[in-house]
Amino acid sequence: MEKRYFGTDGIRGRVGQHPITAEFVLKLGWAAGKVFSRNRKGPVLIGKDTRISGYMFESALEAGLSAAGVDVRLLGPMPTPAVAYLTRTFDACAGIVISASHNPYFDNGIKFFSESGQKLPDDIELAIEAEMDSAMEMVESDKIGKVARIMDAAGRYIEFCKSCYMGSRNLRGFKVVVDCANGATYQTAPSVLRELGAEVIEIGVSPDGLNINDQIGSTSPETLQQTVVNRQADFGVGLDGDGDRVVMVDADGELLDGDELLMIIAIDRHRRQVLNGGVVGTVMTNFGLERALGDAGIPFTRVAVGDRYVLEELNKRHWQVGGESSGHILCLDLTSTGDGTVSALQVVSAMVDSGKTLGELKRQMDKYPQAMINVRCQRARDLMASSDVVQAVAATEDKLAGKGRVLLRPSGTEPVMRVMVEGEDSTLVELLAKDLAEVVEAAAH
């Protein structure tokens, strides 16, 4: 069956527009409560990021779950991976995050975690959608779910993150800039690094409900880069609004994306003999990562874009490490979902134990230039079979002469075809991407 509401990362959209309305979320909480309570008893945890609409949706979910007879535990502002972790440690039957991740404040969404701290399987999401078609009926008054707030949630998560640090000594002597995107990590990420001994300079830690991801955080790292250079810091950590993605900045202000961080983590774990297999990337992963891992003797494979697919492949192969260029990195020996703070600590562990700077570790990988152009079209998937497009792709690959890649990928969230060309020569890559995008655009009209 095709899902009506759930996408690859929960339910997301513009606040006030269906389905991101108080009425819908109330019913969603009730439907989810009905489904969760079929299998086992236990509370449902609710966390959120710092969007102004989070309070409204928290109340709606709380009411819906209670009406279904399910107990609720409120976490307040809490990173997405913290909710996944706490769901496991509290033996909850599920966890819910109210967040639209790296999107602007006027968007919001609802993500669910199973009792194991992983995304819900398809059959549970379909069961929740089926319940949405039923009339909402409240349990008897003596069966209404009870609600309580977990007061020490942030402290529990901070201690967990610290336990994931693998370095042989603390971070005393390091000066670190931490950018929390005015989002869910503003209470946790600076404390983690500070309690590990670092001198911490905080930015993006003054949420007002409207400034989450607003020209700050992992999707807008310019302020982080400038601050690292101006304050002569050793490195910087940039998180997104809900804390599951991370980018880093070296002492020279140079940005390291998810591919470069994944490379550092994998090679360091390989050196420690704790990698336990290979690495999973996506079709968008830079070829430089594949090459660097190959040189280190580390297996690598690609899947479709989306952390769901990375996780599926890791589980299938019984591997532990994978991720995306966006900075969504999975270390399944430590966490059940992407965690920006934990991922950053793995990179810092590599710095400490190797005695190298972040810039030196970055140079283990030669990043290939990539050019990405979004071509607006209504039926992007149909273009993949267009003879003109097929011929243009083949011609582009011939010009790269085996030293690059071409990728056409229909967006899963908007009506565009993403045209990507990757190769050794940045000028040629830009030119080839432009020419190919023009062919795709012509075929779309």
Instruction: Point out the residues that are catalytic.
Output: 101
Beta carbons of 216 and 207 less than 8 angstroms apart: no
Q: What is the DSSP string of 399-410?
A: HHTTSEEEEEEE
Distance of CA 81 to the CA centre of its chain: 9
DSSP 8-state code for residue 302: E
Please confirm whether the linkage preceding 19 is cis (ω < 30° from 0): yes
Which are the contacts of 433, defined by CB distance < 8 A and separation ≥ 6?
Answer: 371, 372, 373, 419, 420, 421
Given strand 72-77, what is the order of strands in its sheet?
A: 11-14, 107-113, 94-98, 44-48, 72-77, 147-149
Question: Count of CB atoms within 10 A of residue 4's CB?
Answer: 11
Beta carbons of 93 and 43 less than 8 angstroms apart: yes
Contacts 24+ apart (CB under 8 A), 268-274: 268/346, 268/349, 268/350, 268/353, 268/354, 269/321, 269/346, 270/296, 270/297, 270/298, 272/166, 274/333
Structure tokens at 100: 């639209």
Strand-pair category, 11-14 with 404-410: unpaired
DSSP 3-state assignment of 384? coil
Secondary structure, 3-state, 194-228? HHCCCEEEEECCCCCCCCCCCCCCCCCCHHHHHHH
Q: Which residue from 345, 348, 286, 277 is spatially nearest to 316, judged by alpha carbons?
A: 277
Unique residue bearing structure tokens 């430590």: 334
Q: Which residue from 371, 372, 370, 392 is spatially nearest to 440, judged by alpha carbons?
A: 392
In whole angstroms, give the CA distance from residue 136 to residue 111: 21
DSSP 8-state code for residue 256: E
